[in-house]
């Protein structure tokens, strides 16, 4: 089915839809790598109710893929079939609640959550200053940095399922392990409630400044990158294994292993998604050959080849 045909079917089936629906949207515009083919249909819901309405009316045979702010994402050059959902302004709310709690929409950038917590005198969330992307991705990946993970501060999360039903999941329901969430794959997270502790705003901001300075010193944050490429194996660090395998600076076309931090792949200009994925697989092969360790991708790879 062409994107235009699916778009027409969905428009006809959803007369009360309030969000933005489009056919053939180029997804590279939404990823930090700046690579990737088109979405057959891209939908940005107006709010949680609009998302639920869309999911209830969506034909069961149409595949759904959810993307966030695109920081930890590699969309292949052939694009993504079916519907791609990207949450936007309707999921950007931040509310301070009693007891050092913060309720936020899942389109809010992680760094903005850290800042809002600091402004409210809520300690314990400053680590989000060191995580690229948005809260939706942090929920799905159990995002963490500097010794703290999402599972350590989450109280509950809201999500819509494939049928448009809304669920509230406690942190125990999320089935968290290292960089993994056990919630059903078809759940689209819409909101999170975090628990912090009372803190001094100036001290929290100072902690955030230290985190930001550290990131700038050791990570290629000004490059087109997707963040950490591979999960850290047990009792090992991926960057050390990659470095020991001689992959620092390795390149495939304009895709390159960062010389600053070799668990980061960067697009130096005109790399394709295929270049980046080929480079990543080459790194995995060389690390396996030299150390016997099989690295696991942390970056989510979606879609089909060109």
Count of beta carbons in the 10 Å neighbourhood of residue 63: 11
- CA angle centred on 30, ends 27 and 32, rounded to 5°: 115
Residues 300 and 77: beta-carbon distance below 8 Å? no
Nearest-angstrom CA–CA distance, 172 and 138: 16
How far is residue 35's CA from residue 25's CA, in Å, rounded to a whole number?
A: 13
- Please identify every residue annotated as catalytic: 179, 228, 298
Q: How far, in whole angstroms, is CA 41 from its chain's centroid? A: 20
């Amino acid at each position: 089915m062409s994107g235009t045909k699916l778009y027409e079917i969905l428009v006809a089936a959803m007369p009360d839809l309030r969000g933005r629906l489009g056919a053939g949207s180029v997804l590279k515009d939404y990823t930090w790598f700046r690579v990737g083919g088109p979405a057959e249909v891209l939908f940005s819901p107006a709010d949680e109710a609009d998302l639920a309405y869309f999911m209830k009316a969506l034909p069961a045979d149409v595949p759904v893929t959810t993307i966030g702010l695109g920081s930890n994402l590699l969309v292949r050059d052939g694009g993504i079939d079916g519907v791609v959902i990207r949450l936007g302004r309707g999921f950007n709310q931040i509310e301070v609640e009693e007891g050092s709690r913060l309720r936020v929409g899942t389109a809010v950038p992680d760094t903005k959550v850290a800042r809002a917590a600091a402004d409210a005198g809520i300690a314990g969330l400053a680590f989000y200053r060191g995580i690229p992307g948005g809260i939706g991705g942090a929920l799905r990946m159990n995002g963490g940095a500097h010794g703290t993970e999402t599972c350590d501060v989450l109280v509950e999360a809201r999500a819509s399922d494939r049928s448009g039903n809304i669920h509230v999941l406690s942190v125990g329901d999320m089935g968290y392990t290292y960089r993994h969430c056990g919630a059903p794959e078809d759940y689209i997270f819409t909101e999170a409630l975090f628990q912090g502790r009372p803190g001094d705003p100036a001290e929290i901001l100072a902690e955030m400044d230290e985190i930001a300075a550290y990131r700038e010193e050791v990570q290629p944050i000004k490059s087109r990158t997707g963040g950490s490429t591979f999960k850290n194996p047990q009792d090992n660090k991926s960057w050390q294994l990659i470095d020991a395998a001689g992959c620092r600076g390795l390149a495939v076309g304009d895709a390159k292993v960062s010389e600053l931090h070799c668990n980061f792949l960067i697009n130096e200009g005109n790399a394709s998604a295929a270049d980046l994925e080929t480079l990543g697989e080459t790194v995995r092969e060389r690390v396996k050959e030299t150390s016997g360790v099989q690295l696991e991708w942390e970056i989510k790879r979606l879609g089909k080849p060109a």
